[in-house]
Structure 1
Amino acid sequence: MKTLGEMIERNARFFPAGNAFTSASRRVSNGELAERARRLSAYLYRQGLRRQDRVAILAMNCVEYYETYRACEWAGFIAATVNFRLAPREILYILQDAAPKTLVFEAQYAAVVEQLRGELPGIERYLCIGATPEWAVPFEQAMAEGDTAGPPIRSLPEDFAYLMYTSGTTGRPKGVVRTHHAMCRTADSCALMSDFSGATRVLQTTPAFHIGGIGFVNSAAWVGGSTVIHQGFDPRAVLQAVQEEKVTFTFMVAAMLQAVLDVADIGDYRLASLVHVVTAAAPIPTPLLKRAFDVLGPIFSIQYGMTESNACVLPRHEVNPFGTPNEVHRLESVGVPCPGIELRILDEQGNECTDGTPGEVVLRSETQLSSYWNNSVATVEALRDGWYHTGDMGYRDTEGYLYLVDRKKDMIISGGENIYSREVEVALELHPQVLESAVIGIADPKWGESVKAVVVLALGASLGEADLIAHCKTVLASYKCPKVIEFVAELPRMATGKINKVALRERERAA
């Protein structure tokens, strides 16, 4: 298959009765999904959309969101996703940058959309999921008016499939575009690395507007599997879905896993169908992983990727928190490059770093982005000689496993010494009473910057700042240890599940 449209067509032909999507209110078979993709794309074509025109989507997870994805994939329109958590002016920036001709939105955002309409003259049609204002067209009406034969255009391998905006951790969000060819290669690789099959049932709880909201969905569809859609993450609903829908796979960051394990009656649920949980965004602390193994078994893998490309995997059979010291240490890594991914570690001069020496992680593959939308400066900076410069700092050990240590722009420089935040976070999380942590640099009149840790303690723990700093000094050089520790109930997060260090720094400046 060379396009995602062909993937839709193949599943409808060979597995027409198979479940494509399941939600609380609807079940959609592969055959029905293909027909609805054709209908919606035919409606949009009749309204004047042509190949590579943008269709923006502002909604929480729902079947209609994924049907809009599939309509765009069928016809060669670009699905431009919008983070529903953004403030209205931030949403306006993305919509003005993406310049869609159609906006599909959920009724709960009607007031925001109406507020912005006067500044969005390029949007010619508004489709509303749910109770529809008079200036919009009901989503189901558009679907009903579309021709079942579909539009007279189909997607091509080099068409852009998606326009997705990064989290904006280093400034305004950047629009990432990846082709159908890149997304097909990504789906194929991810399905292989995740051991997907036609029996795979993905539980999708993270937002659909992010690459993590479509990546595993596509990988399941690539091999004829299906997806159970939840509007958002709820730990008890996760357990109920595993039990009732026989979910086999899902994605969780550390905080999500902790919440699931904290459900008081977790032992009463039948969870045997769940055979794979991917963790990403940051390594799960070993004490939490041990607890997860005791409850759910050895079903965890670690994957590393970003909106721009997929990258590495530490497969399930190598994730063992009860293993040898070497196996436990390896849990701090993100594994080795996926098949088809070339990976290098480069210093500031562009030279290859030796094993154990941190540098920038640089990737090259068929899965990576084509460019940043309307941003040639960022494109030239990130894509050099075919290599994607991730901005992540890391090193490889002698066996080729990649260890991430920081974002390039987040590195702390104290008294002229480089301090990598992940190294400090690992030291903190070795303490049995620490659940998770985030390390940032703060202004220091003597050293330029010093290390501050923001720490979430395990339930029922009582640990003081001095004791935790003393613990760090047993595993780190003194200059790397936190000078200040703030204890909090939870850490701020972005939609991807990553800890939002920008928010922590802004809070620090305000204080």
Structure 2
Amino acid sequence: MLLSDMIRLNGRKNPDKVAVVSDDVSVTFGELRDRMHQVANAMLQLADVGDRVAVLAENLPEYVEMYYGVPDAGMALTFLNYRLHPKEWAWIMSNAEARILVVQPKFLEHLEPFLESVPTLEHVVVIGDPTPDHQVTYADLVGSASSEQPDLVVDEDTTAWLLYTSGTTGFPKGAMLTHRNLVIAALNSVIEYEPQPDERALIAFPLCHVSGYSVPVTHFRGGRIVLTPMFEAELWMKLVDEHQITGTSMAPTMLNFILEHPKVNDYDLSSLRGIGYGAAAMPVEILRSAIKRFGPIVYSGFGMTELGGNVLTFPKSAHERAVNGEEHLLASCGTPMVMADVKVVDEEMNECPPGIVGEVVIRGEQVLAGYFGNEAGTAEAFRGGWFHTGDMARRDEEGFFYIVDRMKDMIITGGENVYSREVEEVLYTHPGVSEAAVIGIPDETWGEVVTAVLVLRAGAVVSEADIVQTARDNLAGYKKPRRVIFVDELPKTVSGKIIKRQLRDELTTGVPS
């Protein structure tokens, strides 16, 4: 089955049912099917089967059309994160050997000076009005193409999406996700997460992030998606109210912004029947607040770019158990989904017994085909026949997994291992702390010193001694921060994940990475 088959099937079964809503634009499944075919045929006029098409845009209906249309042409849609630097956009396109760029003018003006560094780029297609140097518009190109299904055979093992890792711990790599990977990832979630009658999903994450897989998950079930150009807390609340949204997903930082917003009770959010969270670790205190505010409708999963979606699920029922007395479950990220094989292993690939920390490794049909043009990186990631996530975790006797830290975020101080997430969870219990990142900074005496970088709540007055005392009251002495730094904001990826590598570089060298 191809990714685009989801739209063809719904276009045949529910042609008049709404599939996409964005501002005053409403697109049915029948219309989306036709536009998908037009996109595929338009791309085939400019490039060949197997080529890469880069897209640089906010959350727009055109982006959704390209989600399905570019892969339907046998090409790989290459996602460009709009929060990156233009040099990074150019680097990714060059690494991906992209032949086509589809871009909004607001981003093109910044990218223009760097386009010459992308030798494979042949066509620039503008979403919106043409620019003086680029006259080909998406509307004209796609609008004039045939709406019939392209006359070609696409193998389900062909790369459909090429997503570059966020680079929070190093240089980004291009994860090749095939049609099979994405269909299985979507099917895994369709099976595991309960369907919602008249499903209306608000897409809060940017479509350039792997979390956009929730779009085909929703469309697989015949539901509609509502787009917002980019996340903003009050706009999110307004759209939930206006469209009677039934479900959404977001990063912990996004959820925190909503919970702390002064107008959180001014909008009708009662239509929500599911709030998923992911993309980063959820601090337990934020999770408690979310359940208190919205009720037992919160659920989560664990996944990553290389998996095309989630492989662990922590459903509403487990959250209900947690709030009804089994509070240890609040720190869990769930149990393996039905179509994924997940385990915790030691350095010799032996499975760790319950309670012992090891690395999470995964095997299954949704695991990426490999990293584009990076055989060494692919071989390293798949050593022992399993995909290595780089996440440290333990599991309990019931099979619930608990992410402890990223391997590269583990701090070694005085010969002792300190898992940064454990310290962060304690710091979040301080009433004055809004956001926390704990990192290790090189030190001649200790090897590394535990360093807390904090954003305080508005109006809070907190001292370094207060923070250290909070840690001392809850943790072993060697785990308490030796340095506490207060900042106005933390650097984040487009999905809301804190970029600890940048913090480490700035505090170590004074130069942002």
**TM-score (ref. length: structure 2):** 0.95
2:343 corresponds to 1:347: no
Q: Which residue of 2 aligns with 1:323?
A: 323
Q: 1:112, 1:297 → 2: CA distance? A: 44
Spell out, residue by residue over 1:21-67, the C-alpha distance to the aligned partner (whole angstroms, 9 max, x if none).
111141111111111111121122123x2322111101111111111
Spell out, residue by residue over 1:220-256, the C-alpha distance to the aligned partner (whole angstroms, 9 max, x if none).
0111111111110111111111111111111122321
SS in 1 for 2:222: coil
Deviation at 1:106, TM superposition (A): 0.7
Q: Which residue of 2 aligns with 1:255?
A: 253
Q: Classify 1:321/1:452 alpha carbon distance in 2 versus 1 (closer, same or farther; 3 Å).
A: farther
Q: Which residue of 2 aligns with 1:264?
A: 262
Q: Which residue of 1 aligns with 2:94?
A: 96
Alignment of 1:1-400 (within 5 A): 2-47=1-46, 49-133=47-131, 134-197=133-196, 199-212=198-211, 214-309=212-307, 310-320=310-320, 323-325=323-325, 327-400=326-399
**TM-score (ref. length: structure 1):** 0.95
Q: Which residue of 2 aligns with 1:468?
A: 467
Q: 2:113, 2:195 → 1: CA distance? A: 43
Q: 2:501, 2:115 → 1: CA distance? A: 30
Contact preservation (8 Å) 1:197, 1:223: no
Contact preservation (8 Å) 1:290, 1:321: no
SS in 2 for 1:137: coil
Deviation at 1:405, TM superposition (A): 1.3
Deviation at 1:427, TM superposition (A): 2.0
SS in 2 for 1:258: helix
Q: Classify 1:331/1:345 alpha carbon distance in 2 versus 1 (closer, same or farther; 3 Å).
A: same
Contact preservation (8 Å) 1:439, 1:454: yes
SS in 2 for 1:217: helix
Q: 1:258, 1:86 → 2: CA distance? A: 23
Deviation at 1:110, TM superposition (A): 2.1
SS in 1 for 2:470: helix
Contact preservation (8 Å) 1:346, 1:359: yes
Contact preservation (8 Å) 2:126, 2:134: no
Contact preservation (8 Å) 1:51, 1:153: no
Contact preservation (8 Å) 2:434, 2:457: yes
Q: Classify 1:320/1:482 alpha carbon distance in 2 versus 1 (closer, same or farther; 3 Å).
A: farther
Deviation at 1:324, TM superposition (A): 4.9
Q: Classify 1:198/1:95 alpha carbon distance in 2 versus 1 (closer, same or farther; 3 Å).
A: farther
Instruction: Look up the equivalent residue of 1:65 and give its one-letter code.
Output: Y
Contact preservation (8 Å) 1:59, 1:65: yes
Deviation at 1:295, TM superposition (A): 2.7
SS in 2 for 1:40: helix
Identity in percent: 37
Q: 2:327, 2:434 → 1: CA distance? A: 17
> Unpaired segments of 5 or more residues in structure 1?
none
Contact preservation (8 Å) 2:322, 2:330: no
Contact preservation (8 Å) 1:77, 1:155: no
Spell out, residue by residue over 1:257-302, the C-alpha distance to the aligned partner (whole angstroms, 9 max, x if none).
2222233333232222111111113443343333333332221112
Q: 2:442, 2:321 → 1: CA distance? A: 37
Q: 2:389, 2:25 → 1: CA distance? A: 39
Moved more, 186-195 or 156-165: 186-195
Contact preservation (8 Å) 1:283, 1:333: no
Q: Classify 1:486/1:267 alpha carbon distance in 2 versus 1 (closer, same or farther; 3 Å).
A: same
Instruction: Look up the equivalent residue of 1:142 and give its one-letter code.
Output: L
Q: Which residue of 1 aligns with 2:481?
A: 482
Number of aligned residue pairs: 507
SS in 2 for 1:426: helix
Q: 2:263, 2:73 → 1: CA distance? A: 47
Contact preservation (8 Å) 1:283, 1:331: no
Contact preservation (8 Å) 1:62, 1:229: yes
Q: Which residue of 2 aligns with 1:444?
A: 443
Alignment of 1:485-496 (within 5 A): 485-496=484-495
Deviation at 1:374, TM superposition (A): 0.5
Contact preservation (8 Å) 1:54, 1:79: yes
Instruction: Look up the equivalent residue of 1:39 and give its one-letter code.
Output: Q
Deviation at 1:331, TM superposition (A): 1.0
Q: Classify 1:454/1:356 alpha carbon distance in 2 versus 1 (closer, same or farther; 3 Å).
A: same
Q: Which residue of 2 aligns with 1:426?
A: 425
Moved more, 414-423 or 112-121: 112-121
Moved more, 406-415 or 452-461: 452-461
Instruction: Look up the equivalent residue of 1:510 and give its one-letter code.
Output: T
Q: 2:176, 2:197 → 1: CA distance? A: 29
Instruction: Look up the equivalent residue of 2:315 and give its one-letter code.
Output: P
Q: 2:349, 2:116 → 1: CA distance? A: 47
Contact preservation (8 Å) 1:312, 1:335: yes
Q: 1:257, 1:506 → 2: CA distance? A: 28
Deviation at 1:197, TM superposition (A): 4.5
Deviation at 1:320, TM superposition (A): 4.3
Instruction: Look up the equivalent residue of 2:316 and give its one-letter code.
Output: R
Q: 1:263, 1:202 → 2: CA distance? A: 21
Deviation at 1:459, TM superposition (A): 4.0
Deviation at 1:347, TM superposition (A): 1.5
- When the two chains are superposed, the root-mean-square deviation of aligned CA atoms in Å is 1.8
Deviation at 1:322, TM superposition (A): 7.0
> Unpaired segments of 5 or more residues in structure 2?
none
Deviation at 1:154, TM superposition (A): 4.3
SS in 2 for 1:221: helix
Instruction: Look up the equivalent residue of 2:311 and give its one-letter code.
Output: A
Deviation at 1:319, TM superposition (A): 1.4
Instruction: Look up the equivalent residue of 1:79 and give its one-letter code.
Output: L
Q: 1:101, 1:198 → 2: CA distance? A: 42
Deviation at 1:390, TM superposition (A): 0.4
Q: 1:282, 1:53 → 2: CA distance? A: 32
Q: Which residue of 1 aligns with 2:402?
A: 403
Contact preservation (8 Å) 1:197, 1:224: no
Instruction: Look up the equivalent residue of 1:362 and give its one-letter code.
Output: V
Q: 1:228, 1:473 → 2: CA distance? A: 46
Q: Classify 1:248/1:135 alpha carbon distance in 2 versus 1 (closer, same or farther; 3 Å).
A: same
Contact preservation (8 Å) 1:20, 1:227: yes
Q: 1:321, 1:259 → 2: CA distance? A: 26
Spell out, residue by residue over 1:484-504, the C-alpha distance to the aligned partner (whole angstroms, 9 max, x if none).
112233322111211110121
